[in-house]
Each structure stands twice: as C-alpha cells, then as structure tokens.
Amino acid sequence: MEPATGFLERGEGYRVFYRIWKDAAVPSKVLCEFEHFQKAVTAVGITDQSRVVVYDGSEVGCFSAFRVWWLFRYIGFDNVSVLNGGLPVWTSLGLPVESGPVKPVPSPLSSFSGSVAHPEMVASIEEVRQFANKKGGRVTALADARPPPRFHGSVPEPRPGILRGHVAGAKNMPRGKLLDKQGLKTDPSAAKAAWESCGLDVTAPGLCCNCGSGVTSCVLIASACVASGLPVEAFGLFDLSTHAWLNPEDAAINPTEL
C-alpha cells in the first residue's frame, strides 16, 4: 500500500498499514512463503474471520492495493476487497481520515489458516517460455501492463541492467486503459471493450498477465474478472515478470521482441 510516512500523515479510519513486500521480495522470488504472509497479517490483527478492505494512495488508487488483494486470494482467503479509487477518491468525497500511528492488536498465528490454495494463479517462467516459443501449453495469451514505450523498448527499463522489450507474442494492455477517475472501470462492457481494443479476449482460457515486477499486472487481473465475469482463479500471473525475463544472463533462452 502506501509508504509508511504517507499512512502516518493521512491514515483512513481504523485501517492498519500493511507493507506488501516486507523483506520477502527478492529478484528471484517475488511471492513470499505462506508462513511469512501469515506472520505479516496476524501482526496487524487479521484472522480467518476478518473482512479485509485494501486501499492505496496512488493516483486513482489503483496500484499496489490490487497486489495485496491478489495475494490474499492466492492463499485462499476470499473475504477481501479493494476500495476502488483508494485514498484519493475517499478524500475527494469528504469522508473521514485521521493522522498518527496506529497500534493494531496482533492475533495468534493459528487464527489465520490460509494456505496456497490456488497455485494455478501463477504461471511459471517455463510455461511462459512455452508460449513465447509457440509450443502450446497452459498460457495462450500474455498481457503486458507496462506503458507502451517500455513495452516496445523505446525507453530503458527503470531497473538497472535489465534489457528492453517484451516477451515474444505478448500484447500491450496498459493499466491506464482500464482506469477512469473513480479507479478501475467497473462496467463490464467498458472493461471488455478496453481489452478487445488491445486484441485480447478475456473470456478465452489461458490468459496470463505480467508487468515489470508483478504489481501492476494484478490490476489487469482484477479488470479481467470484471470484463469476463470469471473468478480470479481463471487468470494467471507471471509473477517474475519482465525483471526476470529481460535478465541479460537469460537472453538466449527468453525470446524477446520490441
């Protein structure tokens, strides 16, 4: 969600600050172990009986909140939602905010018993290689959430040492096409039209999403659910994303296009 300083300046209601990556995000392994996730959520008092609402403070509130939503769904916790539009829309409506540190009451580890219930929600690099080499497999379409200049390699990647371009065969589905002033487009027809304008059919099996690091692609997955009416488990996330695919050391085995 937001950096801790932003939360302390304008924390909303009694919500608690949850740091997505903590110390779990390393280039070779973006997804954390369940035990790590369990410790993080119980530290802020979340249990199996909680109703979790996630928000962030980015423009139109559509960035890291969707990653947290996706992580909960990945481990089998379904009672989680995103506050569409996030803090910007909340404050624009004049709804209450508060400042200062929040001291959540931790819950026992045993009170949160999720597990990795939906491994099909993650596409491995081997499955993406099958797609890029046109060898069939589970991944039949790949949507890249990065802005067009990064997708086409006309600008350098923000991470030093990463090559330019995109996975061979991928199509560009910039996050901005799926947003309006209120956040994620929630009208199914409008969302579906945005996907179709990029040559992607969200109702076809095998759609997988990627971005630079596995965060923005979760916005695409949420939109695909809206547009198709299908559950989140119907879509894959290439969690290693382009920061692994465009690694110079693997250039010979990762087909790339500009």
Phi, psi at residue 166, to the nearest 5°?
-145, 165
Tokens of 206: 């095998």
Q: How far apart are CA 19 and CA 75, in angstroms?
A: 17
Q: Clarify whether 211 is annotated catalytic.
A: yes
d(CA 8, CA 168): 43
Residue in 208, 211, 218, 225 annotated catalytic:
211
Count CB atoms within 10 A of the CB of residue 89. Answer: 17
Q: Hey, what's the torsion of the CAs at 146, 149, 154, 156, to 10 degrees?
A: -50
Largest Cα–Cα separation, the chain? 54
Q: What is the distance of C-alpha 124 from the center of its chain?
A: 16
Strands 183-184 and 179-180: what pairing? antiparallel
Catalytic positions, please? Answer: 211
